[in-house]
Amino acid sequence: MPSLVNVLRGLAAGVIGLVATSLLAQPGSAEEIRIGYQKSSTLTAILKTNGELEKALAPLGMTATWREFTSGLPLLEAINIGSVDFGADVADTVPIFAQAAGAKLAYVAEEAASPSAQAILVPRSSAINTLADLKGKKIAVTKGAGSHYLLLVALAKAGLGFKDISPAYLTPADGRTAFIGNSVDAWVAWDPFLSSTLKQSEVRVLADGSNGLASYKRYYLASAAYADAHGDALNVIFNKLSETGKWVKTHSAEAAGALTGLWGMDAATIEEANSHRSYLVGPVTALSLSEQQRIADAFFAEHLIPAKLDTAALKIWTPKGP
């Protein structure tokens, strides 16, 4: 006959097991995926607002938390140090700087090229009329952003290098303030900041990425370790991003309305900004990354990254499909 001590131990173990099971079943115990995004991360911003991503992740026992970043470089730095799991989304240049800093990343998805979604702006009354006129000028640009590469190749087209200008590395908000306040001679901006500034200020476009200058693709990334361990979650995210991209292009007014509060802009300006982006989300392939190597080589040639990179060294995660 079992002793009273053994009976009590057995009962205690049973209670502990029931408590553990109960705790695991609580909604707050769901595994989190920590998502970093920017104001320009349109599709992610919509998913954050409408709750569709959380609904799709729920069957996996997962939930999402969100953290906004001022630009892509600090977002990928957060992935690299493990404070964010997934980055949605960054310009094509940003993984180059992150890779140069030793980040272990995985490409999860890409948006097709949107060359007119970034541009070099000058005041309407400025004497700067050609790219060559940028020589000796102070230009606001966000370090590591797609606009950084646009400025680099625009200068090269005019026979200039980065040493021929005075770069002011600023966040988009600070860049706009400096530009409107005439503290800089030009500003390289991307949407939605670009469309907002064009509508509200006496400015003009000196050059954008069209005519083969800079295709401006945007990428969604995760840490390489997270991609290896959580392919099911990334598959859900990939499919929701793809669906949302198609919805934005076919429901432009409704999409703009959903973003007005988040972006603090009127719907017409948001529609204009969204018209410049492809929002065509697809898988990343080695071929689709061909411009990444050109970007890396251009930054290395200007001594803006410390070493020559092989951009094919970054991991590519492949979705399973719907």
**pLDDT bucket at 270, cuts 50 / 70 / 90:** very high
Does residue 123 share a domain with residue 110? no
**Domain closes at, from 178, 208, 238:** 208
Does residue 86 share a domain with residue 159? no
Does residue 95 share a domain with residue 70? yes
pTM of the model: 0.84
**Domain closes at, from 177, 208, 239:** 208
CATH label of the domain that carries residue 157? 3.40.190.10
13-43 pLDDT tens trace: 333 333 333 333 333 446 999 999 998 899 9
- Residue 204, classed as helix, strand or coil, is strand
Q: Which domain holds residue 76?
A: 27-114+217-316
Does residue 144 share a domain with residue 98? no
Q: How many domains does the chain have?
A: 2
Q: Is the pLDDT of residue 234 over 70?
A: yes
Does residue 300 share a domain with residue 221? yes
Does residue 290 share a domain with residue 158? no
Residue type, 74: P
136-170 pLDDT tens trace: 999 999 998 999 999 999 999 999 999 999 999 99
- Residue 78, classed as helix, strand or coil, is helix
The Cα–Cα gap between 122 and 159 comes to: 19
In a domain, 3, yes or no: no
Does residue 192 share a domain with residue 128? yes
In a domain, 44, yes or no: yes
- Residue 223 to residues 11, 41, 229, 230, Cα–Cα distance (Å): 44, 18, 10, 10
In a domain, 8, yes or no: no
